[in-house]
């Protein structure tokens, strides 16, 4: 596993400025852990002892509202780190991380990553840039939750996922992972019942289609119109 871990860590922007010998030392103490769908990597308030990177599959970052409802803050795919700021600042995880499908996560202990960050400030800089991007995305999502209709939020969520990880197939885009109605509902801030009803209508109308366990966005123009509130 160390050789695979070295190659994987070298490909991450967070470690771009770190010498090869230090990447190898980090890989030597890293652990690769498999998670089942809906299994938690860590929970909100838990001591931050691991810096994590998604190796395969997907992990969602979520917080629980006062009403007991899960609010999805981020949907992370292969190569994306999480939990790093809490680890470096030595404070509890501010949110929970849960696998959305069978996934593997590369986990690095706290002390080696803190020591490495102290020697290489570029790690902190890259993490700050990453957090800035995520905060802008979260702000847009919160604004959307406050003012946009449910259908617009669902369309925008699908388009955002397609832009990040989708595979182009002619005029369509395939999502290269299994996206459950519950996960889509969580990301769009609505109920699974509403999500099932809207997605079923989109399937009938040809805006999206299902191929095996994957969604394919067939009519991107129509989905963009719905997301922007221009659908008639």
Residue 133: the pLDDT is: 67
A 10 A CB-CB count for 164 gives 13
Same-domain pairing of 9 and 82: yes
Residue 7: the pLDDT is: 85
Domain finish residue from 104, 128, 145: 145
> Domain holding 185: CATH number?
1.10.10.10
179-227 tens-digit pLDDT? 888 888 888 888 899 999 999 999 999 999 999 888 999 999 999 999 9
Distance CA 143, CA 8 (A): 35
Domain finish residue from 128, 145, 162: 145
What predicted TM-score, i.e. pTM, was given to this entire model? 0.74
pLDDT in tens, the chain (232 residues): 566 788 888 888 888 888 889 999 999 999 999 999 999 999 999 999 999 999 999 999 988 777 777 778 888 888 889 998 899 889 999 999 999 889 999 999 999 999 998 898 888 788 777 776 666 665 555 555 555 688 998 998 899 888 888 899 888 999 988 888 888 888 888 889 999 999 999 999 999 999 988 899 999 999 999 998 865 5
> Domain holding 67: CATH number?
2.60.120.10
Residue 224: the pLDDT is: 93
Distance CA 165, CA 162 (A): 5
Residue 195: the pLDDT is: 93
| SS3 (DSSP) at 32 | strand
Residue 182: the pLDDT is: 86
Q: Quick check: 78 and 114 in contact, CB under 8 A?
A: no
Among 214, 160, 226, which residue's Cα sits nearest to residue 187?
A: 160
Same-domain pairing of 141 and 166: no
Residue 163: the pLDDT is: 86
- Domains: count for the chain: 2
Domain finish residue from 145, 179, 201: 145
| SS3 (DSSP) at 106 | strand
Distance CA 116, CA 128 (A): 16
Q: Which domain holds residue 196?
A: 148-227
Same-domain pairing of 50 and 113: yes
């Amino acid at each position: 596993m160390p050789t695979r871990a070295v190659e994987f860590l070298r490909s991450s922007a967070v470690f771009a400025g770190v010498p090869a010998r230090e990447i190898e030392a980090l890989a030597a103490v890293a652990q690769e852990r498999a998670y089942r769908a809906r299994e938690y990597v860590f929970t909100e308030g838990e001591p931050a002892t691991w810096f994590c990177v998604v190796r395969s599959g997907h992990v969602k970052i979520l917080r629980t509202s006062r009403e007991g409802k899960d609010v999805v803050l981020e949907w992370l795919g292969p190569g994306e780190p999480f939990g790093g700021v809490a680890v470096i600042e030595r404070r509890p995880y501010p949110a929970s991380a849960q696998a959305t499908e069978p996934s593997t996560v590369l986990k690095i202990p706290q002390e080696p990553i803190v020591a490495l960050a102290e020697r290489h400030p570029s790690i902190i800089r890259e993490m700050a840039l990453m957090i800035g991007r995520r905060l802008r995305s979260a702000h847009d999502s919160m604004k959307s939750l406050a003012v946009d209709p449910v259908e617009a939020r669902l369309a925008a969520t699908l388009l955002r996922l397609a832009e990040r990880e989708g595979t182009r197939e002619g005029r369509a885009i395939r999502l290269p992972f299994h996206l459950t109605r519950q996960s889509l509902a969580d990301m769009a801030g609505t109920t699974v019942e509403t999500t099932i009803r809207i997605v079923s209508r989109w399937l009938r109308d040809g805006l999206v289609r299902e191929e095996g366990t994957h969604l394919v966005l067939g009519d991107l123009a129509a989905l963009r119109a719905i997301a922007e509130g221009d659908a008639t």
